[in-house]
Amino acid sequence: GQSLEQPSEVTAVEGAIVQINCTYQTSGFYGLSWYQQHDGGAPTFLSYNALDGLEETGRFSSFLSRSDSYGYLLLQELQMKDSASYFCAVRDGFNKFYFGSGTKLNVKP
């Protein structure tokens, strides 16, 4: 079956760098997406990787290794507003989306 694994919770201090890992197992694979969701809010799109390598968007970067079925989201210069849940998501070979269970990031002053 399809599965995505990511840590349930991560804590870091303001200004630090944090990496949230995601490993996946799917039948077919188109790409890995990352979404951010604040408490009580809707998920918002952060990044998408279809090919191996690093994609950078401001303070956020996302990495994919298709051969390792692994990706990560890197958040730099952490700010308090980055406290949220982060989800990795995969579109499998049948075009269905699967989301990880989410990583709750706590940013402390």
Tally of CA atoms within 13 A in the half-sphere of 41 that contains its CB: 12
The nearer residue to another protein, 45 or 56, going by C-beta atoms, is: 45
Close Cβ partners of 100 (under 8 Å, ≥ 6 residues apart): 4, 5, 6, 22, 24, 87, 88, 89
The nearer residue to another protein, 15 or 45, going by C-beta atoms, is: 45
Which listed residue (50, 66, 83, 104) binds another protein by CB under 8 A?
A: 50
| Residues 67-106 as x/- pattern, contact with another protein by CB under 8 A | --------------------x-x-x--xxxxxxxxx----
